[in-house]
Structures are given as structure tokens and as C-alpha cells.
Structure 1
Amino acid sequence: MGDPVVETKFLVPQRHQELVPRRRLTVIVERASTSALTVVSAPAGFGKTTLLAQLASPPEQERSGRATAWVSLDEGDRDPRRFWSHVLHAVERTSPGAAASALDLLDSATGSLEGVIVALVNELSVHPGEVTLVLDDYHLVDDPALRDDMAFLLDHRPPQLHLVIGTRADPALPLARLRARGELVEVRAKDLRFTADEAAAYLNDVHGLDLSASEVSSLESRTEGWIAALQLAAASLHGRDDKRAFIAGFAGDDRFVVDYLADEVLDRQPAPLRRFLLETSVLERLSGPLCDAVTDQDDGASTLVALERRNLLIVPLDDRRQWYRYHRLFVDVLRSRLLTETSIDVSALHGRASAWFEQAGEMDAAVRHSVAAGDLVRAADLVELAAPALRRQRGEGVIRGWMDVIPDEVVRRRPVLASVFIAALMAGNAFAGVGKRLDDLEAVLAAPADAVVVRDRAQAERLPALIATHRAGLALVAGDLDLTISNAESALALAGTDDRLTLAAPRALQGLASWTVGDVRSAYQAYTAAAKDLEAAGHVADVLGCTVTLVDLALTLGRLGDAQRLARQALDLARSATTTDVVRGTADVWVALGRVAWQYGDAVASVRHLDRAADLGEGAGLPQQPYRWRVAMADVRAAAGDWRAADALLEEADRLYNGDFSPNVRPVAATRARVRVRAGDLAAARRWAGHRGLRPHVDVTYVHEYELLTLARILLAEHALSGDPATVTDTIDLLERLREAAEAGGRVGTAVEVAVLAALARDAAGDREQALESLRVALAVAQPEGWVRVIAEDAEGLCSLLDEVERLDGSSHFLADVRAAAGAPPSPTGAPPRGGRSGSPRSRDEGLAGTQDPRPAHIEPLSERELEVMRLLGSDLDGPDIARRLSVSLSTVRTHTQHIYAKLGVNNRRAAVRRAHQLGL
């Protein structure tokens, strides 16, 4: 989970129903929707946000056909990570998929964020719709830390993106260059000022003040059309009998006008309401109960409604009028007045706000108000006590955010808090400096009791075991497996025998150490024990994370059925653990289930599960989810022959890779090399192998096993081009050594792939008998568990061997499923694809497939448009002809075709037509 975002920052401010018509600004709005950059620059209170809200309004979006992403910025967004987090979330909410990979990359990126922006640009460049990104109050973040990033975005902006900035000062961006290119629309104070007619409409029609033409003209000239000043003036004029005298005495520059009218507004309010305004100005957002807590009164909700009715610069944040905020100009004035009010204890206001947020379970706001109150002791207490629940929810990102506001001198005296921060850093793969923090933590534990502050006694008792666990994790990252195991054993010895939570982590680390050296059986046992401990401790999100690892291990061991069972059980656990929010890690388990379905040969179910994972959103995934999903989807795209899409997904996955503490035994780059071999780009695959230093006669180690299998595929492809017998001899020797290592380690999943490649290599060497024997070995191991895909992936090369095995040994449902998954025509003597004894994917996955399709094989229904395309695919028309027949673009036809292939589980047009005939489509 990334750092938390503030939901209300994405809400377009609601427009009042009785706005003054300003038709002269319509042209500006239309130009802004097509320009590279629109800058709305004017002093406070000139209606910038109102104009931007008009640009982002549903009618305008519907008229232009463009989605509008809105971000209300504040000073906290000066931090580049927070700024881009809010920007990317805004884009993703309005245009799903337009910022997904950039968000995933941001969650794992360190240092420069250029890669995040590149990912955003790349995604927007292929996004089908246009996006207008509105950044309101940009002057609050116009900082050197962001200027280069924003300039980079503008320089590489895809045509689909239109950037709109509302600001009190011109931003430090290449405005001159954009102006010269005609790519800049500028809206200045002179454009936004009310004309005399608009001022008259505002004062008399909206506010009902019944002013004479001369009085309106006087106010308009004295304010120079400054909307905020007119708004404050209107608030002061309500109920006055001496309107003429008030208007006659009204004068001054901008700041004086604000001060003068703010005083007028405040001073004319009843004392209780004036105090309410000042006291609640410490809040970023307002609700009735929250205001009651801060003001120590009981009329917050009614007061907020009254303020809105009186137009006292308050903005509703939801349709139910439960949450509000003050107008930014107004809250600035209120806060400046608050500091001069000696009768009001500002620290106490923040303290009461902190207590309310704590009670409401909004710990981030509770901590930050406590810091604003100057009560760092309470803030530290809150963090220490809130940490266990956040850890259970995998909320380490929130904890890392608190590290910026709790000073080190406070942390040093609090060993539990120090351990909380260490755990959060390690969970985020931020290992730099953790060793020093552990040394400091041990020193604190050795200090006199009166020098140490502890609020969570239960956690304090765990500290010796936790320190040993942290050191085991550092050792694992450093590659020192002996020290990892030693520290993990110390942690287990120090933990209480019934402290399942503390026992789980060192057991998992032992499992990871075993996995790293290829002892997958021991790793599986250790992780199983860790998952049981975590379930007993109620850490469901961590159980889901363990389950994903267990699925990986089960697949390596060849236990496809166990892998599916584990994933299903984890999903059942996640469902039973909550009735509201989705447990973090649920998306990862859906991806794991999709991988299992893929190995069963069920492309339809695999895509359905991957879509389910994507639909759950970022908050339902662990940090590893972004790259895992892309790798799994790349398999689908590659099987459909969409090599470019598969390669792009793997490129993103490699950039987003976050292995946590797990060994990188299936490098994304190796998978990408495999795709390139299948796509015919052998040169790129060779370059990868050369960069990795891979040669046929290198020592076989488990951590490089997958890469060496990939090398074998490259060598086979090279032999097909060159016919060099030495190449295939080297390949056979490499595969034999890989077979011995896999069998010794019990890695059945690897052994099946080795046997398949050995069949191809022996056949290429002209040894037909040994090739058939290798293929029989592969089939014998694969069939009981239903490993369809591992055979189907190479079905084209194995075609004649499969035919011969079927002729000699007889047909089987398993071979029919292999052919169906490969999109190949069924053998004349073979049975059509069907579920049943061979463990066909469709029969195994029905439990999670939802409503069953009554047609054969439970194929996901094609849409009406897809059926039209399917019928035309059965004709003699080519792609452009089909596009012309349907009056759509060729790319649209290709998209529909890819969806059809995925749903039917095929990878070419001929197979799709054949499958459609079988299903009666």
C-alpha cells in the first residue's frame, strides 16, 4: 500500500446554482480544453477555482468528450512523492488505466521520479481518451523540487493530455517557449474581474441586496472587479441599513480590503459564531461532530449549515452536506486572526482535534494535530499504540510518513517506537541505515529503566526476538544465508512459544533462505508454518502474502492442485475477515489464482482472475502486485501473438520489480527474453544472455535455473537457424545437468519443462526415439496434475512428436486439452477438448468462476460487437476490410480480436473460427 491520499483533494468544488453568467469566459474554457497548458494566474479571490470548476464540470466534460482529473493542492504537496501520488491517483480515477503503471512505479521508486513521469507519459500516449489535468492552488507547490519534473512532463506531453494550472503567481515553467509555439492559454486577473454588469448581477440577483446602479458601480470600481472582495462586501452588507455609507467608506488595496472586510464579517457575527469560525479554522475539513469536539460545543452541524446558507465562504465537500471546508482565502484570514486572539488556546484546539481523530480511527490526522499542538510525547504515544493495527493492515506507508514529524530525539528514548520505524523501513525495502538503528535500539534497551519510555508493554517484551528477526532480514538481503539462519534461530528461541506473530517472521525468513539455495521442500514447510502462525495471530493480509509465496513454491514442486487449493483458501479467509474493506493482498492472490488457471491451460479463467485483481485497485495489492500482474498478463498477450504488448508489459514489470525478501529465481528480464525468442527477435534474446554471462557449460545453480532454461530455448532457436550440431549438443548437455539438479531438489515443475525442451533438442539432433521418450516423461509427470500450459507453449515444435505419441499410445483427454490450449487443430484420432479426468482447467476452476455459462467449456460470453467481429473473422475479409465493414478503426478491430482470442483460449484466427464452430457461435 502506498502512502495515504486525501480523497477530498480529487473533488471538483461544487458550483453554486445561481452563478453569474459569464459568457465571455466560454471561449477561454473551450481553448483551455485543447491547449498544452492553460495558466489561470491571478491574486487570491479572483475566481480562479470557480473558472476551473466550470472547466471540470460534467456538462463541459460531456461537451468536450474529455475526462477531467482534479487535484486541490496544499503545501504538503511540495513533497514530490506526495504531489505525484495525488496527481496520478486523480488521473487514474477519471481515466482508469491511464496512470496505473506510474502509480505502481511510484510505490517502489526511490530517488528521481523521472521514471514515474515517463510511465505516465507512455500510458497516456496510448490511452484512448483525452485527459485534462487541473492543478488548483499550484503556487503552494511551485518549488524547485517539482519544477524539473513538471517541465519534463510538458516537454514530453502526449497529445491526449491537457494541463490546467490555477495559481496566484506565474509558475516557474517554460511559459515563453510554450507561448511562442502557440501552446499556452493565459487567463489573467483582468480576464477574471467582474464587469459592472456581472457585479450588478452578483450583488443584486445572487445576494438580493437591491443596490442602485451607482452603488454597484462604486463597489465595482473600488474592488476593481475582485470577486472575493465583492463576496465579503456582500456578506457585510446583509442586514445593513446604512449601505450607502458603508460603500462610500470602502477603499484600499487588495490586502487592506481583505483585512477590512474580514474584520467586518467577523465583527458583525454574534460572539459565539465568531469564536466558532476562529476555532474551527485549525481544521482542513469540517464536520458537525468534529467541530463540536474542537469547540467544546454541541451545535457544529447546524452552524455549518447556517454558514453555508449565509454564504460565509464555506465549501461543501460531499452531496450530503456532512463535510465542508472554508474558502482558502477566508481560512487564511481566520488563521491570522486566530493567532492574535489571546483568549483562545490554539494548542488546545489541535489537541482536541487530535483526540477526536484518534477516537474516529483516523490516526494520521490524530498524529499530525498532536504535532501541531506541540505535544510530541502524545504524538509518539499515538504512533506506538497505533502501529500493531496498522501492521496488521500492512499500513507501513502511513508509519513511514510519521517518521518525518516525530523527531529522532523523541524516538531514541522509545525502543518500541524505534522498532516500529525499523519494521516499516524494511517492509518498504529501505535498508540503508537500518543496521545503525538496530545498534541504537539495543543500546536503549541496555540503558537504565528511567531513561526509556514504553507505552506498548506487550510489544516491548517482543523486542529481543524482533531485533534478531530484523538482523536476519538484513543478512538475507546481504546474501549471508548462514547468518540469516543463525539470527532466525535466535529469534525463535527468544520468542514466546505461544507468540504466534513473533514466531512467524523468523520462520518465513528460514524458508526464504532455504528457497534461495533450492531447498524448495523445506521452504514450503517453513512458509506453511509461518502462514498458520499469522492466521492464528489475525494477520490476514500477511497470510495472503505468504500464500502467494506458497503458490510459487507449490508450482515449483509441481503441485498444481495444491497451488489452487491454497489460493482458494486464502480468498475464503479474506472474505471472512471483513465485510467492508478488501483485505490488502487479495489482489495478489487473484493473480496467483490466474497463474494457476494459466498452467491448467484455461486462458479464459486466467484473464478473468487477472481482471478481478486489477478491478480491486491499488489498495488491495501488496508492493509486489504491480510487477506480478504484468508478468501474468504478458503470458496471456504472448499466447495471443501480441508480442509488442507482452514485451511492453514485461518492460514495465522489470522496472516495477519488488521482490521483497524473496530470491529472484524467475527474473523478469529472462521472461522477456523468452517472449522475444517466440516473437523471432533472437538478437535481443542473445544480447540478454550475453549481458548475464550465460553459457551452456556454466555451473548449474538453483538461483540461475530459470535463466539457464531460457538459455536452452535461445540455443534451440539458434540451432533452427544455423543447423550447427554443436549448438544442439551443448543444449542437450545443459538440459541433462538441469534435469539432475531439478530432480535432486524435488522441483517437479522445473523437471517438466526440462523434459519438454529435451524432447525438442533430441528431435533436432535426429534422435527420434530419445525425443519421444523425453516427451513421454513430460506427459507422464504433467498429466496427473493437469500441467497443460507447459506442454502447450511448445506444442508447435512438438507437433509431430505429439502426433506420434498419440498414434503409438492412444489419444487422451489431456492431449486434447494441450491442443486446445495451444490453439492447434485436434488430431483426427483425438477427442475434442473436454473437462474431466485429466484435470482440465475448466472443471478445476468452476468453483471460482461465478455464474456458469451453459455452453460447452464454460467460455466467457462474447459481447454483441465481438460476435459481429467473430462472424467476419470466419469470412475471407482481411483486417482492413472488417474495419470498413463495421465502420471502425483497424486498431479497434484488433482490440476486439484480442479479446475474442483470450475468451476462446486461442492465439490465431483459424483456431478462433474453429473454436467458435465447436461452441455454436
Structure 2
Amino acid sequence: MFYYNQFMENFENEKRTSTMYPQSESRPLSHLLQTKLHIPGTGSTLVQRPSLRRLLDQGLGAKLTLVTAPAGFGKSTLITEWIRQQPYSYAWISLDGRDNDLVRFMEYMIAALRTIQPGLCDSVLQYIQETRNFSAETAMTLLMNEVQALNQEIIIILDDYHVICEPSIHHGLTFLLAYLPRNMHMVIASRSEPQLPLSVMLAKRQLVRISANDLRFTADEIRELFKLTVDKRLTKEELVCLERRTEGWIAGLQMILLSGGEYGVNTKETDLAINPFKQHPSEVEGDIADYLTEEVLARQSPDVQQFLLKTAVLERMNESLCRHIIQKESGQSLNEAIQAGLFLIPLDRDRVWYRYHHMFGRLLYNRLTRQYAKIVPELHLRASEWFRINGYTVEAVEHAVAAADFNTACELIVQEASELLRNEMHMLLRWFGQFPENLLTHNPALAVLYAWSLATFDRLDEAENVLDRAEPYLNSGQTELQSLNGEDILGYFSAMRCLICLGRNETEKAVVYNEEIMKRLRGVGNISAAYIVGYNHDGESLLRGRFGFFGGLKQTLAIYPPLIAGWQSAHDHFYGYLHTAIGECYYERDDLAQAEKYVNIGASVGLKCENAGIFVPALLTKARICLARGEQEAAFALVQEVRNQAFRIHALSFLPVIDAFEARLFIRAGQPQHAARWAENCRLQADGWIDPSREFEQITWLRLLVAFGDGETAYRYAERLAQVYELKSRKAAVAEIRIVQALLLERQKNLSAAVKKLDQSLVLAFSEGYIRLFADEGAKLYRLLTLWGRQRCSVSKRAQDPLFQNYTDTLFSFFQEEDAASPQHLLSGLTRQEMNVLKLLSQGFANRDIAETLSTSTETVKRHCKNIYKKLAVSGRHEAVSLISDHLIE
């Protein structure tokens, strides 16, 4: 404990005197459209519909209320009026096509919840913003834990969910609904059936559905609508005519009222070539909508018509933007259009931003492109200009791309590269996909951003192809093409080449490119520094994550040590990452002194920067070092300190792996019952989805299944884990899983199968040189390793490989010679009193009972136990008894 206390004391002293390290804080959500988080404004509905309100109330008893119907059926209006009358807090999100990105979707979920309580879900926000290819399950788990801690009922409304087609979002929402907290309810409005387990939820009575048939106006409701709106009493014939033509479609009825209330009342059915009984309802609605839109427009003045058509290019609008589009100081204004009731919906409480009803806006845009196609690009350019001037980069690029003004879009993307790479990766790929090919190849800055976007999603071949086509233009001599935000573009080309090589395990090439990066960027560059600050945001290990090439000891030790020598203090976070990752490598190679030296520096930097992505793996590696030295109490103390530090800076996304690490300590100490609570909270299932981002938790859960004696479930789960991680090329994970399987098979007396599994593990670990992976299993693995050694020639395909033989001989040396490590030899090192204590331990006696039986004190018994564990090289009672159970003297 001394070195640990001394380390923490030094850290606190340095923290009080140092100001050179910036704090790592989660970024705000200012890049999101706040208007999407406000409940849409609607006029009061004159016709009361109590039956629908009752259905929505009934839905509160289930997990999900689903409202599905085509456009114009009043889904949003119904939910809006209902939610305003509820005593519960609610979070509203109006979705659009740009939300088909898991990061953006989760950000909007968090932003919506923060309208209920500011600062809510800070751990989730940090996790999703600072973790590449993060897990939807982990993000949703963190979100649920924070919501569950609130002492209030919450309703989340997802409007227009039909725009979502991203599978990861569907998967995340499915997971959320499966484990939805009791104080949380979800409402989804969609034009189509969402890709969620609706039939299962319906069977479990977890779902209440409201369909188009429920939303259609009945004859009585149509009669009441016309009476209250235009004070007209419909005859029976007029009512039948209206009901048949609109089929109770609310938008159609509203258009009729906007047209003067005469259509459908005085017009014969033959005036419309529509037979509702022969056409699909959506076709009927589309035909009626087209016809009625013409009727509505025809009744407006020329200024109003121009306003409606020109502003149809906008997804949202305010007065200033509309005037910029129309380019008239006088004439029709947004406020006048609102007062005319032209299907404009307010998007914020102050009623500054509006949008057209989706259906009406789409019809307006269709007419604009049909009749005035030549002016559409100019309208998009005006919109792009306004959004650029007012600081809305994403919308400025969107309209520039829509206008085919790719030079302007390119300029905006390069100017805002750092922000776009952090928040809009999917958007970048979509934009780049619409750019002319020659523009991407002739502009190296744009090319490297495109390659970066592709490589982030593991599309390495495409990224390399982009760089290859753009590289000839690096020597064009044009100054503006030689930098990216003022930094050497050649350095970024080398950075991308390095990233691609690392993705392909081409370590030697990556080292060469790394030297070029250091020479030209003197580090990682300002743009990429944003990634590095939060490179790890939920893992207990850098080595097992992307930073350590998913367990690549050779790559990590080949690339990172040279970087330290030339590293400058501009990015101290990265300095901490380097030391921690290298320290983990030295630990796995069993160089404990070097490992401690490096992780001490990493932990110090991480704590000063308040970057849990550094200090969590660093301090947990120190805990592993403690265990390797037999200092179990120090290991537990370090885990508690890591947890306290994570709480202190609100890095709650690390708590699952910290708790899992503590669970492993209990398992190793022979106290698996103390890990049971963690098992209940981790939400893992033997037949559930294997989430690669939860590798450490999953293998911990596997070990707990073994400790509790559930061999059948454990083996089945281990096979599923191994299959997934083999496909992901995570050798260390597969090697560890095979070790667990081997020990499980040995316990079941299936020794031949156990030896084969151990051989598979040895072959995998040999390629990277892992030592502690086996040594940490303790003496219990030695028996099986010894058996493998006797059979290696008949079992192992690598038995004749001299390098492999040297590797396995090294492993044997860590377990001492066979005779010295045998149970009989170990027992001979115990005193007579220690043997008495051990026999009583094997019979299940507690320390107090042993003390009474041997007429000694409990403290003396504890001291004997500690000596026994040390001599037997085990970590606790369970391992001690298991190791020598067959050799105790009766």
C-alpha cells in the first residue's frame, strides 16, 4: 500500500501546482437544431376526440405507444394535444433524414432529455462523442441508468420515425425498449411500421397501437368540424360525399376548408377521377392532395403563391431567411403566411422558426421543380448564403450541394473540418458521394477528409483509392492545396496512410508513415487532436481497444515508444495514452517494473487532464501489478480509487468496466457471490447479442458463470464469444476465452478436449508474446499446462517450431519447475498449524469457527490464511481448496 499512497500524494501535490493540463469536458450540444426539441405548435382542435385520448392514456401502462398512419392524418397534432394535458415530464424529438446516424440520434435523445433536467446524461454524451464505433447497447444502458435515477415519470416522443433506416438505431431502440426503466414511456409516430419487435411486444402487452383507421374522422366528426369551423350544416348527401372522397383524411378536410369549404359539398364525385375502393389509400391521398393544393394555391394572391413556392426549398424558416430567399423588402412575409393558416407549424416556443406541414411542403416543392426548375438552384444558393452568414454550417453545405455549387460546399467543409469530423461523419460521406470525382481528386485537402471518413468506417480500400487518385495533385504548386486548416497536408496524407496500414496489420509501413507524421505535423495535428483527447471512453484497457490495435502487442511496441521521444507538450492527453498503452504491453510481457513506470506516468497525466480514458486503464493495470505481486488488498484499494475518480469527474461511462474489474477480483479471491450484484446489473444474457465494445464485461460474465458452476451455459456462451472475436481478429480475447474453456473442460474431467483448447490459446498468444495472460490464471493452470506439455507433440501443430518451443518454455518458467509447483510440494511448505487451517477451510469452516476449533484468535487465523495463499500461489480460499483438494491428508 505504501507505493500506492505515495503515488496518490504526489499526484495531489502536482495537481494543486500544475495548470498546464486542460480539462477534458464533454462538448455542448449547440450544433443541434433546438427547434427539433420543441413540441410543434398547433391551433386548438375544435373537434374533441376522447376515444383517441383514452387509447393514449391506456398506452402509459405499456412500454410503447405506436401511432402509425400516412401523412396528413394528424399523428403529431393528436400526440401534441394529449401530451400537453399530462402531468408527466416529456422529451420531444422531431426526426428527419439527417438523423440516420447513431451519434446524431443519441445526441438528440440526450438533448431532448436535457429539456427536462439540464446536464442529464452527461456520461452518455461523453461516451458517444468521444468513442469511435461505439456500442448502441452501452450508450442506451448508460442513458437508462441516468433516467432511472430521476425521481419522476418521463415520456419520450419520437416524431416522424419513418425517416430512420439505420439498423444500429433500430437495434439501440430495441435494446432500450427491452430494458426500459419503469419511470420511462415511449411514444413513436411514424408513417410506416418501424423495424422493432412489435409482435413480441404486442404479445407481452407492452405495446398499444393507434392506426390510420383510428385516426380517420368519422361522419359525426366531419359534421362537427364543418359546423364549428365554417358554420355550415352538412346535408346527409354532402356528408356521405365528403366522407367517401377524403376517407376521413384530416389533411384533405383541412384543405377543403382552406379552399372555402365548397369542394366536395357542391361538386359531383365524377369531377375527380378517383375511386377510393379501387386505389391504394396513399394513392388516393396523393391525388386528392395534388388537386387540393392546386385549389389552395389558386385562391392565393400572386405574392402569396411566390412566397409559398420559393420557400418550399427550406426545411425550416424564419422571417429573415424568408426575406433573403424572396429578396423583397416588401410583399408577402412569413408572418402574413402564418396568419393565413397556410400549413405552417411553429418549431420553438418563441415562434421564430417554422416549417411547412411535411405533406404540404413536399407538394409545394414538387410543383416548384415542375414549373420553375430553372430558379431552384438559385433559391438553394440564397439559402446556403444565409445559413453560412448566420453560422449554420451543415445547412449551408446541404443547400450548396443541392444547388450543385460544389466549390462552395468544398470551401465550407474544409473550413469546418474539425467540427464536421467530430459531429457529421455520415453527412460528410453523403456529401462526398454527390461530389464530382475530379473535384475530390484535384483537391488534396478534400480528398484526405474523404479518406478519413471512409477509414473511420473501416472502408480502407476505398480510402486508399481516394488518396492514390489525389496524391499527384499534392505537387501542383498551388499553395491553397498544400494545407488543411493551416497545417501541412502531406502530414495528413501520411497520417491516413498510417491509419490504413495499421488497419491491415502492416506495422512496418505504419512506422515509416509515423516518422513522416512527426516530421511534418510535430504530433498528430490540430484536427486529429480532437479525436485523441477522447480516444477511449469506456474501456478498462487501451491495449485491448482500438488504440492498442485490439491486443496487438507487437504493433503497439513497434509504433508508440519512438513517438514518446519526439513528443511535445502540446497534446498531453496523447502523452498519457502512449505511456499507458506501452505500460500495458510491458505488463503482458511480465516486465512489471517497466510496466509500473509507464502506467504511473500515464495515470498522472490522465488524472491531471481529468481524462478517465487514460487514468482508468492506467490505474487498473497498477491493480493487476498488485495482484501479480500478491498484494490483493492494494488491488481492491486501487479499484475503489478509480471508481471515486470517475465519479469525481462524472465519467460514468467507465463504471461498468470498473465494476466488472472488481467482480473479477472477487472471482479470483474465491468469493464469486460478491460479484453476483454486478452480474444482475450488467444486463448480459447467454443468448443475447455479442457487443464487441463490451469485451471485458462479457468475458468477466463468462468467468462468473464458471465460478458458479453453470458449465453448460458457460461453454455455450464462450463458443459464441469466440466466434465473434475471431471474426474481429481479436487474438487476445479469443486466447483468454480458450483458456477459460480449457479450465472448464478440465473441471468436467474432459482432459483431451481441455488440452486442445489450451493449445489453441497458446498458438494465438504466441503470435503476440503474451505471458501474463497465462500467468494470471495461477497454479490452477499449471496442472493443465503440464498435461499439455506431455502431449504437445500429438496435440500441437506448432510443436516443432523452435520459436514456439522457446515461448512455451518461458511460460513454464513462470510456474516454476514441475516438482516445485506440484500440489504435494506446495503442501510440504506449509506448517502443521497451516495444514490444520487448510483442512478446516476445505470443510467450509468460517474464520471464527476455525479459531474456536484451534483455540486461537480470528486474527491469527487470518494471518495463517494469508501465508497459505502466498505459499500456494493462489488468491483466495476457493483456489486454495480447489488446487489441493485431492491431496489433503485425511
The alignment's TM-score, normalised by the length of structure 2, stands at: 0.60
Asked whether the equivalents of residues 657 and 696 of structure 2 are also in contact (C-alpha less than 8 Å), the reply is: no
1: distance between equivalents of 2:33 and 2:59? 27
- Given that 1:98 and 1:124 are in contact with CA atoms closer than 8 Å, whether structure 2 keeps it comes out as no
Match status 1:601 vs 2:637: yes
**Deviation per CA, 1:628-667, whole angstroms, max 9, x where unpaired?**
65422322455682346359859799955569xxxxxx97
Once the two structures are superposed, residues 754-794 of structure 1 have per-residue CA deviations (whole angstroms, 9 ceiling, x without a partner) of 9xxx999999555469xx9xxxxxxxxxxxxxxxxxxxxxx
Q: SS at the partner of 1:318?
A: coil
How far has the Cα of 1:280 moved from its partner? 1.9
- Which position in structure 1 is the counterpart of 2:252? 229
Instruction: Tell me the SS of whatever aligns to 2:345.
Output: strand
In the alignment, the residues of structure 2 paired with residue 82 and residue 523 of structure 1 have an alpha-carbon distance, to the nearest angstrom, of: 29
Structure 2 vs 1, CA of residues 19 and 613 (structure 1 numbering), >3 Å: closer, same or farther?
A: farther
| Contact 1:396-1:424 within 8 A present in 2 as well | yes
Q: Which residue of 2 aligns with 1:687?
A: 741
Q: What is the CA deviation profile of residues 181-230 of structure 1, one whole-angstrom value per residue up to 9, with x for unaligned ones?
A: 9988664545323345544654565x5x4445669969965755432233
**Cα pair distance change 1:503/1:135, threshold 3 Å:** closer
1:326-377 CA distance string (max 9 Å, x none): 1112212221232245397111111122223333443322222111112223
Map 1:731-770 to 2 at 5 A: 764=826, 766-767=828-829
Does 2:437 match 1:408? Answer: yes
Quote how far apart the aligned CAs of 1:420 are.
Answer: 1.7
Aligned residues: 693
Alpha-carbon offset, residue 286 of structure 1? 1.9
Q: Specify the alignment match of 2:613 in structure 1.
A: 588
| CA spacing shift, 1:26–1:708, aligned 2, 3 Å | same
- Does residue 678 of structure 2 align to residue 645 of structure 1? yes
What is the CA–CA distance in structure 2 between the aligned matches of 1:154 and 1:441, rounded to whole Å? Answer: 42
Q: Which residue of 2 aligns with 1:570?
A: 609
Q: Tell me if the contact between 1:134 and 1:163 (Cα under 8 Å) persists in the aligned partners.
A: yes
Note the C-alpha offset of 1:291. Answer: 2.9
CA contact (8 A) 2:511 2:558 kept: no
Question: Secondary structure at the residue paired with 1:558?
Answer: helix
Unaligned segments of structure 1, at least 5 residues: 238-242, 536-542, 572-585, 617-625, 660-665, 720-732, 742-752, 773-795, 806-818, 823-921
Q: 1:47 to 1:396 in 2, by over 3 A?
A: closer
Q: Percent identity?
A: 22
Distance in 2 (CA, whole Å) between partners of 1:718 and 1:551 is 32
Change (3 A) 1:335 1:438: closer
Cα offsets for 1:43-102 (capped at 9, x unmatched): 4322233234456x164474xxxx97766454567x68699869977998899899979x
Distance 1:82 1:526 in 2: 31
Match of 1:282 among 306, 313, 319: 313
Matched, 1:709 2:738: no
Q: 1:313 deviation in Å?
A: 1.6
Letter of the 2:596 partner, please give it: G
Provide the C-alpha distance between the structure 1 equivalents of 2:458 and 2:194, rounded to a whole number of angstroms.
35
In the alignment, structure 1 residue 484 sits paired with structure 2 residue 507? no
Checking the alignment, whether the CA contact within 8 Å between 1:235 and 1:265 is kept in structure 2 is yes
The one of the two structures with greater contact order (alpha-carbon pairs below 8 A, sep at least 6) is 2
Please state whether the residue corresponding to 2:777 is helix, strand or coil: helix
Verify: 1:332 aligned to 2:398, yes or no: no
Partner of 2:852: none
Is residue 439 of structure 1 aligned with residue 441 of structure 2?
A: no
Distance in 1 separating the partners of 2:409 and 2:293 = 34
Q: Secondary structure at the match of 1:325?
A: strand
- Unaligned 5+ segments in structure 2 are 1-25, 275-284, 536-542, 588-594, 624-634, 667-673, 716-738, 744-755, 786-805, 835-858, 869-874, 877-890
1:168 is displaced (CA, Å) by 5.0
8 Å CA contact 1:590–1:613 kept in 2: the answer is no
Whole-angstrom distance in 2 between the partners of 1:15 and 1:223: 22
What SS is found at the alignment partner of 2:407?
helix
Residues 285-324 of structure 1 aligned to structure 2 (within 5 Å): 285-297=316-328, 303-324=333-354
SS at match of 1:337: helix
Report 1:115-130 matches (<5 A). Answer: none
Verify the 8 A CA contact 1:151 1:174 in the aligned structure 2. no
Counterparts of 1:75 and 1:298, CA distance in 2: 33
The 1:84–1:596 alpha-carbon spacing in structure 2 relative to 1, beyond 3 Å, is same
Q: Look up the match of 1:191.
A: 214
User: Is the CA contact (8 Å cut-off) linking 1:73 and 1:136 kept in structure 2?
Assistant: yes
Q: 1:688 to 1:234 in 2, by over 3 A?
A: farther
1:21-60 matched pairs, under 5 angstroms = 21-33=48-60, 40-54=67-81, 57=83, 59-60=85-86
- Contact kept in structure 1, 2:346 and 2:353, CA below 8 Å: yes
Query: How do residues 621-700 of structure 1 correspond to structure 2 at under 5 angstroms?
Result: 630-636=656-662, 641-643=674-676, 645=678, 649=682, 657=692, 686-687=740-741, 691=757, 693=759
**Aligned equivalent of 2:40:** 13
Distance of 2:823 and 2:129 partners within structure 1: 40
Q: Secondary structure at the match of 1:284?
A: coil
Deviation of 1:519 after TM superposition, in Å, equals 8.8
**Are the equivalent residues in 2 in contact too, given 1:712–1:734 (CA < 8 A)?**
no
8 Å Cα contact 1:117-1:153 kept in structure 2? no
1:83, 1:394 → 2: CA distance?
A: 7
In the alignment, the residues of structure 1 paired with residue 692 and residue 175 of structure 2 have an alpha-carbon distance, to the nearest angstrom, of 27
Q: How does the TM-score come out when normalised to structure 1?
A: 0.58
1:345 maps to what in 2?
Answer: 375
Q: Structure 1 residues 306, 10: closer, same or farther in 2, change over 3 A?
A: same
What does 1:860-899 correspond to in 2, within 5 Å?
A: none
RMSD: 6.4
CA shift in 2, pair 1:697/1:340, >3 Å = closer
Is the aligned partner of 1:377 residue 2:377?
no
Aligned to 2:632: none
1:883 alignment counterpart: none
SS of equivalent to 1:21 = coil
CA distance in structure 1 between the aligned counterparts of 2:769 and 2:453, rounded to whole angstroms: 28
Taking the TM superposition and a 5 Å limit, the aligned residue runs for 1:384-423 are: 384-388=414-418, 390=420, 396=425, 398-423=427-452
Residue 304 to residue 320, structure 1, CA distance change in 2 (3 Å): same
Whole-Å separation in 2 of the counterparts to 1:90 and 1:497: 37
Instruction: Give the whole-Å Cα distance in 2 for the aligned partners of 1:397 and 1:164.
Output: 26
Q: Is the contact made by 1:353 and 1:369 (CA closer than 8 Å) also made in structure 2?
A: yes
Equivalent pair of 1:686/1:714 in contact (CA under 8 Å)? no
Change (3 A) 1:467 1:278: same
- The residue identity in structure 2 corresponding to 1:232 is M
8 Å contact 1:195–1:220 — kept in the other structure? Answer: no
Q: Map of 1:241-256 to 2, 5 A cutoff?
A: 248=266, 252=272, 254-255=285-286
Alpha-carbon distance between aligned partners in 2 of 1:502 and 1:90, rounded to the nearest angstrom:
25
1:526 aligns with 2:563: yes
Superposition map of 1:100-249 within 5 A: 136-137=159-160, 166=189, 168=191, 187-195=210-218, 198-199=221-222, 202-203=225-226, 205=228, 209-212=230-233, 221=243, 223=246, 225-237=248-260, 248=266
* CA distance in structure 1 between the aligned counterparts of 2:153 and 2:822, rounded to whole angstroms: 48
Contact 2:440–2:470 (CA under 8 A) maintained in structure 1: no
Would the alpha carbon gap of residues 22 and 453 (structure 1) be closer, same or farther in structure 2, given more than 3 Å must change?
farther
Deviation at 1:566, TM superposition (A): 1.0
Counterpart residue number, 1:466: 492
- Once the 2 structures are TM-superposed, how far is the Cα of residue 437 of structure 1 from its aligned partner? 3.4
Q: What one-letter code is carried by the residue in structure 2 that aligns with 1:364?
A: V
Distance in 1 between residues matched to 2:487 and 2:258, nearest whole Å: 60
1:558 to 588, 591, 596: 596
Equivalent position amino acid for 1:800 in 2: R
Conserved? CA contact 2:418–2:527, under 8 Å: no
- What's 2:455 paired with? 426
1:149 CA drift (Å): 6.8
The answer to whether the 8 A contact 2:155-2:187 is kept is yes
